[in-house]
């Protein structure tokens, strides 16, 4: 079996990995790191939980440690773009963790917080800049950031970038970085628009695909409750009141819906917190910290806000409302059964969500087990009748657009969330997980 010591990484990186207790790379790390150390471009199709962040962070750190010129003021040697604040912060933390024994500087530039601290960090020049596209463009256009010294450019969760309407901002950003660079492109799915963007960004890339597109985690037990919309609240309280639901992530389609569900749970004596795009960065961080620490055992989230939630020990994922884009189901349930654990994914489906359920089963190529909790005696006949497909909101490329927290793309999705993109596969507990 391959060990990190076999990959040719610098000693400070190996020491940091040892500090974390990591000795065995995940499949994507074992396959991607050697090519990245050679300076090759990478096209990675990978889901969250596969160790993707470490797969690009470790060879990038190795490059920085090996030498090169220091970034001038306002510039960065490495640029990493992520769709949400939480994911950007998580990536920044990974670089700091794996680079703790080297003199590597990291700056995270996202919306929802003051520009001033970011301007100060950029003014000195940094080795690694992690940013959401909208806020990065703010700095570039304001003259507080420059991209002409980037040696490596990483686009993480590209399909989610597309869903948030970031393709044009990304192209504008890429036009400002040197053409001679190493480029890394990661996406969970590869729709036509993403394949086109990858073709524009990459040169003779090595393709690394560690999981099939739109598959669900093997260690997640899935079930669907057929239920009237009015019965969802009591069913949720019933399920989360059980002792086996030790740490649960509940998904809603809308921000207001997340707040309402959180209020229901709190009123029932179940500690909960909500996280969504209307929350300030401080509120989102406090909610996530409370969830990680166990102060609240239920986190209610919209899809976009859940991006970057990398929390071990999530026993249950509950889809209080089914997503209106089927791939989102895969990404949601991938928040449990991480790091080799098992998990449970429960979905509520009312009559208006039948079309969404059929789409999910088509995309995941499986028939989900169903539990009937409908109380209406005529419900069986009603559900057997074809339901009209709810209209999907339209934004960039026919997909919902949403504010990611940097003040750029605007949401027009009934206050709801766009298509998220996440991954659904665990890994060995002793493997580096980005």
Mean pLDDT of the chain: 84
Contact between residue 405 and residue 111 where contact means Cβ atoms under 8 Å apart: yes
- Going from the N-terminus, what domains does the chain have, and what CATH number goes with each? 4-209 (3.40.50.300), 220-388 (3.40.50.300)
* pLDDT single digits (tens) 11-30: 999 999 999 999 999 889 99
Helices (H), 142-243: 158-163, 167-174, 192-201, 232-240
Report the DSSP beta bridge partners of residue 221: 344
Q: Are 208 and 42 in contact (CB under 8 A)?
A: yes
| Rounded CA separation 125/105 (Å) | 9
Sequence-ordered list of residues with C-beta below 8 angstroms from that of 179, at least 6 positions apart, any chain: none
- Predicted structure pTM score: 0.67
For residue 414, pLDDT over 60 is answered with no
Q: What span, in angstroms and rounded, lies between the C-alpha atoms of 262 and 77?
A: 42
HSE of 229 in the Cβ direction (CA atoms, 13 Å)?
8
Query: How confident is the model over 68-92, as a mean pLDDT?
Result: 93
Backbone angles phi, psi at 420, to 5 degrees: -85, 175
User: Over the stretch 332-377, which tens digit does the pLDDT of each residue have?
Assistant: 888 887 766 789 999 999 999 999 999 999 888 899 999 999 986 5
The residues pairing with 274 across neighbouring beta strands, listed in sequence order, are: 300
Buried-exposed string 311-344: b where 16+ CB fall within 10 A, e elsewhere: eeebbbbbbbbbbbbbbbbbbbbbbbbbbeeebb
The pLDDT of residue 417: 37
pLDDT single digits (tens) 321-334? 999 888 788 878 88
Letter string b/e over residues 44-79, b meaning 16 or more CB atoms within 10 A of that residue's CB: bbbbbbbbbbbbbbbbbbbbbbeeeeebeebbbbbb
Is 104 a residue whose pLDDT tops 60? Answer: yes
């Amino acid at each position: 079996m391959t060990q990190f010591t076999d990959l040719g990484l610098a000693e400070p990186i190996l020491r940091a990995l040892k500090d974390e207790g990591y000795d065995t790379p995940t499949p994507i790390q074992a396959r991607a790191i050697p090519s990245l150390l050679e300076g090759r471009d990478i096209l990675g199709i990978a889901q969250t939980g596969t160790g993707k962040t470490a797969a690009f962070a470790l060879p990038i750190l190795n490059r920085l440690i090996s030498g090169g010129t220091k970034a001038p003021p306002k510039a960065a040697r490495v640029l990493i773009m992520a769709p949400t604040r939480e994911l950007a912060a998580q990536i920044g933390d990974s670089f700091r963790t794996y680079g703790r024994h080297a003199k590597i500087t990291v700056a995270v530039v996202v919306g929802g917080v003051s520009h001033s601290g970011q301007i100060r960090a950029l003014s000195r020049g940094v080795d690694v800049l992690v940013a959401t596209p909208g806020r990065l463009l703010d700095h570039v256009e304001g003259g507080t950031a420059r991209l002409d010294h980037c040696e490596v450019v990483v686009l993480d969760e590209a399909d989610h970038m597309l869903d948030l309407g970031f393709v044009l901002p990304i192209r504008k950003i890429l036009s400002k970085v040197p053409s001679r660079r190493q480029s890394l492109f990661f996406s969970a799915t590869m729709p036509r628009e993403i394949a086109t963007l990858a073709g524009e960004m990459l040169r003779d890339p090595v393709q690394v695909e560690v999981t099939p597109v739109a598959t669900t985690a093997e260690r997640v037990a899935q079930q669907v409750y057929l239920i009237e919309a009015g019965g969802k609240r009591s069913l949720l309280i019933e399920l989360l009141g059980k002792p086996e639901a030790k740490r649960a992530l509940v998904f809603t389609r809308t921000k207001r819906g997340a707040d309402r569900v959180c209020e229901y749970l709190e009123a029932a004596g179940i500690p909960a917190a909500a996280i969504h795009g209307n929350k300030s960065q401080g509120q989102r961080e406090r909610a996530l910290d409370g969830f990680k620490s166990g102060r609240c055992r239920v986190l209610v989230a919209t899809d976009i806000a859940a991006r970057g939630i990398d929390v071990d020990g999530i026993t249950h994922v509950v889809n209080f409302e089914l997503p209106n884009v089927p791939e989102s189901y895969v990404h949601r349930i991938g928040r449990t059964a991480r790091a080799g654990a098992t998990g449970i994914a429960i979905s509520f489906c009312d009559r208006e969500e039948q079309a969404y359920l059929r789409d999910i089963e088509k995309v995941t190529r499986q028939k989900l087990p169903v539990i009937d909790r409908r109380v209406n005696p005529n419900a069986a006949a009603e559900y057997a009748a074809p339901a009209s497909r709810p209209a999907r909101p339209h934004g960039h490329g026919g997909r919902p657009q949403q504010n990611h927290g940097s003040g750029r793309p605007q949401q027009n999705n009934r206050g709801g969330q766009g298509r998220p993109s996440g991954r659904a596969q665990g890994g060995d507990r002793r493997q580096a997980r980005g």
